[in-house]
Structures are given as C-alpha cells and as structure tokens.
Structure 1
Amino acid sequence: MMRLLILTGRPDCLGENDVPIGNAFRRLGWEVVFGEIAAIASDDYRHFTPGVLVRPSGEPHRLGSAAKGIRGVYFIDECQLVWVNSGAPPSISRDVWQMLWLASQDTVFVNSVEGTTFLETKHALGLVVPKQHRAFAYASNDFSLLWKRYQQSADLWWVAKPPNAYCGQSVFLLPPGGPNGRTILQCLTGNADAQSEFGGLTERELLMRQHQSEYGLGGFKAQYALLQQFIAEVRQGEKRIIVACGRAVAWHGRKVSSDDHRSNIAQGGKPIPVELHSTEVELAELIGRKLMEYGINFLGLDMAYPYIIDLNLTNPGGLYDAKLATGKDQSDRVAELVISRLHK
C-alpha cells in the first residue's frame, strides 16, 4: 500500500492543506502519516518523525481536528511521497531542512527541499516571473539606499515589506511624501543606523559608535527589506491561484477589509468566488511550469493581473478557501496530478 507523509506543525490540530490533501489521498487508497516537522530525528542517519498513521478507510478529517489513527515513529524512507506543510521553528530550522534534504535523496518530495529553501522568498520573483509581470523593486539591508530610492520617486506609491515574511506581516503602504516613510524603512532594515549619528564626537569615536551599532554585542543588526512599487491593479482585488504540477486547479478572490490595505486572509481578507480568465490561467501555469524546473510541484500564486505579487510554496492557503468560496473541492484533482507526475 502506498504511503504519504505529510509533515505538519501539529498532528493534533490539522491545517488547511493537511485536511483536504490527506483526505484526497485516502480516497485514492493511500495511507497517510501526519508527522511533526519540529520533531524530525535520525537513527544511525536514517530519518524519522513521530506521527499518526491514518488508514484509507474511516471518517474524513476536518479543519482543526486531531489526526485519528495509529501513533508511532515513522521512517521517511518507508513513505513513497513526502509533502511538507509547515516550516520549522527558527531555532531548529537549519537542522530540519538539512535532514529533510538528506532524506530527499532517497524519497520523493512534492516540493524539493532546495527549491523551497531558496525560492520561497520575494527575492525569487525576478527568477521565475517575466519582467512585464512583476512590480519594480529594490532590496537592501541599507536604510540609506532604500530611503534615497523612495525620495527619488516622490510622486509614486510604494509598498515596503520583509522579503521572507508571510501572511501580510509587516507590509506597509507608503504614499508619496508620506510622514512615516523614513521611520518604516528604518524599522524594516533593523534600525541599524539609529545610533550612527552623534554630535560632538571625534571621527574615531564616531566610527567606533557606527561599528558598535551595526556589529554590537548582539551581532549584526541590519535586516533586509523590499521596497516595491505599488500596483494600482491591487485595488481591484488579488486572486489566490493554486497550481499543481503546472496546472491551475483552484482559485478565489480576496475581499479587502475596510480598515486595511492588505487582502491576506490572515489579516481579515475574505475569500470570494471569482472567474479566472484565460490570460490569468496562462500566466499562472507559465510560472508553475518554471517552478517545476526547480522541483516545485504545488504552490499558491497571488495575482493582480498582469502582475504576480507573491509566491507561496510551503502550505499555501487557497485550496481550502477556494472550496469555501465556490463550493468546489479540487483536492482530488491535486492528488491525481501529483501522483501522476511524481509516483511512477
């Protein structure tokens, strides 16, 4: 019998991809193990996780329910397919991804470890999205550079955000000449320059203070930020599109809350039914095929046509929300595409 390992944050509280994907594979006759990504370990360099084995028969899971099955320890190489549905806590993230990469040398992963590690970032838009379909952007950990760029385009609206945050975290809308642009860019780049300007100091003392502010006892202070031109099309609403093995399979619109400029579901946005036009399908599938070259077979795209706003590779919301918005469950289609491509 075929076995899928879904690595999740909490097997006792299944998430929005754990449930539909797990249920779909079970309907197709697969066993599903819900493993805990933060507990990956090895026995003589053979990697395993504690988890719950669920047989194909039985009641389907629901969002937030605990996995119901046989608790135990499950070796990754005893599974035919691995689906990573959660990131690891920052304190152990490096070790977890290193062990998962090693495990992936013998077991098939739906999304490659290296592809996920290096492409789930806003930096990656320049690699996989054609230039005419992405907003112009600057990335730096130097506040002065980003501030200068912002000042040079005094008539434009901008969006400032961390390149590696999720769910709309720390995304700021900067109007032309706005009073908080300087503060926001300082904050996003780690306030590394906050102690660099002191009056009445000798040149040597000033250089020492600057060095301490950047490389103090706490280590390097600067952080990367992205300054991206605001796309007017976003005001018409973004669409989340789920792409499986290069095919657009599910989508929904996101209605922005009246008190926020972000449409992220986690920030109060609401999933709504929308049509996906042929040009949008073509663009989404173009990006999906490009990402397949790097081992990415399941992703969520944020699109405000003709622009791609973001890529979501680990546990992208959309499959569950599309069902809420449209009443159509596309999880079987996703499972069939993945099995057809990766399990031969």
Structure 2
Amino acid sequence: MRLLFLTQQFDVKADSNLVLLTLACLDRGFEVIWGSIDHLSLNSGGINAVGFVANASTLSSPLPQQWATFDCREFNLIWLLSLGKRQTFLDKIQLLRLVERDVRVINSTNALLHLRSKYGLTQQSTLFQHPETHASNQLAPLAEVIARGGQWILKPPAGSMGSQVFLLDRETSNYRDILRHMLGLHEDQYLLLQAYLPEITSGEKRVLMAGGEIMGCYLRLPAEDHRTNLAQGAQAERATLSHQEIALAHTIGAFCQTEGAEFIGIDMVYPYIIEINIVNPGGLGTLQGLGIDLPADRLIQQIIPG
C-alpha cells in the first residue's frame, strides 16, 4: 500500500492527526509520503505532488529540505489533511478530480465540494435537524434577518477553527458594521447567519467517525465566549452518546459515505447537527489527551480493511 498524505503544514506534533495516522500506517508496512497540497501540478497530462518519504526518522528530526516529485496516479490512496490556500481551492479540486479516476481520494472531491461548506446541511431536513440558516453576499437581507429579532451566529460558509464567528442580535450596536466588514469592500464574500442555540452553553459533542462507524466522542464546552472550538479556548471533556445520538450519528455517517466522505467529525447538539467536518477533523489527539483509548490503527482499519 502506497499512501500520500496531502497537507499545508507538516505538523510533527506527537498528537497531530498527521503523525498519529502516519505511525499507524508505517506499523502496517505502508509506504507513506507527505506532500504539499499547495504544490499540485499538471504536467503533460500527469498530476504531480511534491514532498518526501515519511518514516520514523522523519518524525524525530528536522524535516527534509529537498523535496521530490511524485506521480499522484502511482499511489493507492491519497488522504487530504488540509485544503491549503483558499484562493486555489477549485484548482486543486479539479486536479484531484482527474486523479480520482484512478486513485481513491479521502475524502472525495464530491464531498469536498458539497459537504465542506455549510450550505449542503440546510438541504438534509429528512435526515437531521439543522438550525435556521440564511446566506447572502448582500448587506440588506442579512441585516433584515437580525433586525427581526433573535440571536444569530454570523460566520463564513467555509471557515474553520472558529475564526470570524460572531454572536449578534438587533441590540448589537455595530452589527451592520460587522456585516459590512465581513462582506468585503465590494460585497464579494458570502456570509451565513445561523440561529443561535442556547443549549450550546452546556456543550457540543464532537463525534469522530471513520467508514460510517463511531470512533469516539468528546464534549466541547465554550469557555471564553460563545464558540466551542478548541482553537478558540473551548474546553474538552469526556462524553458518552445516548442511544438517540448514536442512531443519528450512524444515519449521518451512512449519508456521508454515499457522498464519499469516510473520515468525518460531526458537531452535535442533539437533535441538531451544527456542522459536519470533512477535512482533517480534530479528535484523535484530543481523545488521547482525555485518556480515551482510540488507537489510530483502529481508524486506519476502518478506512483500509485488511
């Protein structure tokens, strides 16, 4: 098995997904390459990546300064752990789409296009509940929603790690200024307004799934503000899932598999699904830090049986 992990930054922290998954793959005898997602290229019909061979010494010494070029079609599996620079997202998706005809890609380009942004979740009301959501790149309709009352979460459709996420209501004196700033000088940025769930003050559960099966879960408690993102100071605690939450997670896992998303993180405030994370969902290191046993090899086994 020859596997290419594509990422933007080569995160060599011991508890990073990149390191934990790499070690599990090496233990199984796989050849592992670390490649840069932002350096994909098309050369006479071939799709190339640049990077280096990952092994035990790679993880314990300075990263190689000299990178090699690899033919993406010579891998058995390409696993995305980052989408890299936003400006070139569509270019990279199109290049990977060409490779996907011959090589399995996790998660699929279809999933990356249709599940990564928050829009798709609003169309799955037969599967799960999702907070009321509005989207626009115009000030007037977004301001009108806020002016009608209620509390709203303002965020970019394809944001991550809680960046640029605001809690607003009509009493927020500068909400129109915040909208203008985030829409951009030429109103060329789309924004989402999502109804705020007061229940989230008691925490949001992150459910990590691989191959449609639950790998583990933990509770994310907001600490410094309304956000439950660990990158924004939220706290992680051990958690268990109710029978209803387990059933809902399996429903979503099965749906995501049909879309080609095999490694996901579900953010749940039952019965609501807040988000489905399909690009390197955090979880392995967090579970490990909470003393919850989830060997990365078990996750690899779900994705690559045998």
Q: Fold conserved (TM > 0.5)?
A: yes
Match of 2:173 in 1: 179
The answer (yes or no) to whether the contact 1:129–1:287 under 8 Å persists in 2 is: no
The root-mean-square deviation of aligned C-alpha atoms, in Å, is 2.5
Match of 2:47 in 1: 47
Q: CA deviation at 1:223?
A: 2.0
Evaluate the alpha carbon distance shift between residue 129 and residue 332 of structure 1 in structure 2; reply closer, same or farther with a 3 A threshold.
Answer: farther
What amino acid sits opposite 1:36 in the alignment?
Answer: S
Evaluate the alpha carbon distance shift between residue 28 and residue 91 of structure 1 in structure 2; reply closer, same or farther with a 3 A threshold.
Answer: same
Q: Deviations over 1:265-286 (max 9, x none)?
A: 1111122211122221211221
Match of 2:209 in 1: 243
Evaluate the alpha carbon distance shift between residue 322 and residue 71 of structure 1 in structure 2; reply closer, same or farther with a 3 A threshold.
Answer: same
1:85 and 2:81 are equivalent in the alignment: yes
Which residue, 260, 263, 271 being the options, matches 2:228? 263
1:113 and 2:109 are equivalent in the alignment: yes
Evaluate the alpha carbon distance shift between residue 279 and residue 6 of structure 1 in structure 2; reply closer, same or farther with a 3 A threshold.
Answer: same
Match of 1:229 in 2: 195
Residue correspondences, number = 305
Tell me, which stretches of 5 or more residues in structure 1 are unaligned? 193-220
Runs of 4+ in 1 over 6 A off after TM superposition: none
Aligned equivalents of 2:125 and 2:286: distance in 1?
25
Task: Please state whether the residue corresponding to 1:284 is helix, strand or coil.
Answer: helix
What amino acid sits opposite 2:43 in the alignment?
Answer: D
TM-score for both structures, normalised by structure 2: 0.90
Match of 1:34 in 2: 34
Aligned equivalents of 2:86 and 2:156: distance in 1?
16
Task: Please state whether the residue corresponding to 1:308 is helix, strand or coil.
Answer: strand
Q: Deviations over 1:32-51 (max 9, x none)?
A: 11111111123322122122
Tell me, which stretches of 5 or more residues in structure 2 are unaligned? none
Q: Deviations over 1:199-224 (max 9, x none)?
A: xxxxxxxxxxxxxxxxxxxxxx3321
The answer (yes or no) to whether the contact 2:122–2:133 under 8 Å persists in 1 is: no
Aligned equivalents of 2:22 and 2:135: distance in 1?
38
Q: CA deviation at 1:66?
A: 5.4
1:160 and 2:117 are equivalent in the alignment: no
Q: Deviations over 1:218-241 (max 9, x none)?
A: xxx332111111112201101111
1:276 and 2:262 are equivalent in the alignment: no
Give the structure with higher Rg (CA): 1
Task: Please state whether the residue corresponding to 1:50 is helix, strand or coil.
Answer: strand
Match of 1:24 in 2: 24
The answer (yes or no) to whether the contact 1:249–1:330 under 8 Å persists in 2 is: no
Aligned equivalents of 1:330 and 1:129: distance in 2?
34
Which residue, 109, 123, 126 being the options, matches 1:127? 123
What amino acid sits opposite 1:43 in the alignment?
Answer: N
Q: CA deviation at 1:291?
A: 1.2
Aligned equivalents of 1:85 and 1:254: distance in 2?
22
The answer (yes or no) to whether the contact 2:106–2:261 under 8 Å persists in 1 is: yes
**Quick one: percent identity of the two aligned structures?**
31
Q: CA deviation at 1:129?
A: 5.6
